[in-house]
Chain A
């Protein structure tokens, strides 16, 4: 075991791991974090805490992660390279680790153009892959990126994102391989709606034996409505929603669409768990955390293992 991370322990035990997501609020509202977290407690092994998601200012991932720790939940501390240089990044990592946060996710972040501070300078001192390298160096060599020694180095279980649906598709296995080379321990994928395409990607992943070097958690997001399905299909870069899925959502009456979305999500998990190399699920129920218990239970992922 490289770390004390509960997520690492569950993954290493061979059980399918489950992570959820908590998007911090746009204001000093600790109770919002606590309410969301409470809904997930007991149903997931760890909770991703997003970092200025969609390039909108929110309570910091660090602060919200500390609230989760206080509730004895295990945050996956997300960090984007957009908002911080390597000094701030490493300072936050040792700070987070000092608060008992031992799992993180290294991301580049959405472009500021999509958020409410389009006028902001984006930093990108490091890219997401160099961030993985940095965190690994801090943990395994006990050195800061600049080369100096760290006293009590942070032992982070290192995650990253993988998007099998973005272009160029043929590069996407190599992209994962490169993250593995940089030292990533687990990846969470973009939400999967096109399972056929995901299977093709996983074939390529297995051909290179990457599934044996990195834990792959399949990302799923239940859709609330046909409108949301259409929006994701047409507006969100890097998300692939097949036409059949939009049709299926649109084919049920409006008041039943939410339930249909949950059903689709559970069916997806059932199909995805058959795929060799899938080590768990990352359930991103955006502003719909109350549905996570139902999804986890009906998908047969409950109770969560005690490690």
Chain B
């Protein structure tokens, strides 16, 4: 999923300075799962913004909505009846959702309430960790199902650096060394000998190297 964290209150307050009425829009997908921008977080932020405004001696009208998927035009359309009544939209979706709202409603400013972080997975209650950087040419079949691009701090594709210590990355004890994990997994799968297959320099055109990417599926278009 795409993970995100809420921005500090002051920053959000700064963005909506001068607004009397806002539409605060959550999303029911990834940001709900990572507890950053679902219905519950929308309600919490709405209350927080109103309180902060009151302290400044201003009234703030907050309308709350949570869409099924904010990155999908079909659902974003649900905002249309409300958009003219507000000074701004504050989006609690990931950056994709924020942009979809901005694309649909040309005249109303849209502000992000979240910092979008990474594509990751949950490692336990309240913990999410990065897993994939969307390189567009997945190597996981060669690396035992553990991604060296997203999970090695130096993006090494051919083995651990000289700083790997007791299974941890040289950048800190709270980060697993991706290559330690890959090696352990290769052993479990009995494919240690495959470690010595050199992974050649990557063609980053499948990733960001080629500019903004697009998928076009003729069969669906």
Contacts and interface: CB of A to CB of B under 8 A. Distances in A.
| A and B: bona fide binding partners | yes
A237 B163 contact: yes
Contact of B180 (A122, A168, A178): A168
A238 B163 contact: yes
A64 to B, nearest CB: 23
Contact of B159 (A111, A133, A175, A238): A175
Interface string B177-192: 1011001100000001
A129 B159 contact: yes
Contacts of B204: 125
A178 B158 contact: yes
A111 B170 contact: yes
A108 interface: yes
B215 interface: no
A69 interface: no
B18 to A, nearest CB: 32
B115 to A, nearest CB: 16
A129 B200 CA distance: 9
A165 B170 CA distance: 13
A202 to B, nearest CB: 17
A181 interface: yes
A126 B203 CA distance: 10
B164 interface: yes
Contact of B167 (A108, A113, A163, A167): A167
B162 interface: yes
Contacts of A174: 159, 192, 195-196
Interface in A68-91: 81-82, 86
Nearest to A126: B201
A134 B201 CA distance: 9
A81 B157 CA distance: 12
A168 B160 contact: yes
A263 interface: no
Contact of A127 (B156, B171, B192, B196): B156
A104 interface: no
A107 to B, nearest CB: 9
* Most B C-beta atoms less than 10 A away, residue of A82, A110, A122: A110
B162 A130 contact: no
Contacts, number: 105
Interface string B198-215: 111100100000000000
A162 B162 CA distance: 7
Contacts of B153: 111, 113
Interface in B122-167: 153-167
B195 A129 contact: no
A167 B166 contact: yes
Given A130-B200, A166-B162, A111 B155 contact: no
Contact of B171 (A108, A109, A111, A126): A111
Contacts of A233: none
Nearest to B166: A167
* Most B C-beta atoms less than 10 A away, residue of A133, A162, A163, A237: A237
Contacts of B163: 110-111, 166, 237-238
A259 interface: no
Contacts of A113: 153, 171-172
B201 A145 contact: yes
A250 interface: no
B175 to A, nearest CB: 10
Contacts of A109: 154
Contacts of B195: 171, 174, 178
Contacts of A165: 162
Contacts of B164: 166-168, 237-238
Interface string A157-176: 00001110111100100110
Contact of B165 (A86, A167, A190): A167
A304 interface: no
Contacts of A129: 156-159, 198
30 contacts: A82-B154, A108-B156, A109-B154, A110-B163, A122-B155, A124-B154, A125-B201, A126-B201, A127-B155, A127-B157, A128-B156, A128-B161, A129-B157, A129-B158, A129-B159, A133-B198, A161-B162, A166-B161, A167-B180, A168-B160, A168-B164, A168-B167, A168-B183, A168-B184, A171-B160, A171-B179, A181-B196, A181-B198, A182-B198, A237-B164
Interface of B: 153-167, 170-172, 177, 179-180, 183-184, 192, 195-196, 198-201, 204
Given A113-B171, A125-B204, A238-B163, 13 more contacts: A111-B154, A122-B154, A124-B156, A129-B198, A130-B158, A130-B199, A133-B200, A166-B165, A167-B177, A171-B195, A178-B198, A181-B198, A182-B198
Which 9 pairs across A and B sit closest by C-beta, in order of nearness? A163-B162, A237-B163, A129-B158, A237-B170, A124-B155, A130-B201, A238-B162, A127-B156, A238-B163
